[in-house]
Amino acid sequence: MATEAFTIRAETEIVDKLDNLAELLDKSRNYLVNQAIKTYLQTNAWQIDKINQGIAAADKGDVINDAEMMREIEELIENKAQGRM
């Protein structure tokens, strides 16, 4: 896989912790940073997907009004309060 270099600035404390972890795991700083970036992107990909789904729904007019939204939220709160969730 092709790689590309780039530079970041991080607080000294973060770099120190990263270096300590790299030493403990016998891995390079570069390896750990790449793993962290991959994990971050995978973990947050759902948010981008949900935003795109919302935009597509809004473009089709598939939306609900504020009164209906409040009714759904209140129902969720009530269900949670009664232990049904």
Contacts of 29 (CB under 8 A, 6+ apart): 18, 19, 22
Q: Where are the domains of the chain?
A: 12-81
- Show the tokens assigned to 26: 């016998």
CB 33 within 8 A of CB 18: yes
Cα separation, 59 vs 3, in Å, equals: 38
Look up tokens 């949670």; give the residue.
Answer: 80
pLDDT tens for the chain, 85 residues: list them: 899 999 999 999 999 999 999 999 999 999 999 999 999 999 899 889 999 999 999 999 999 899 999 999 999 999 999 887 6
CB 51 within 8 A of CB 44: no
Cα separation, 31 vs 55, in Å, equals: 36
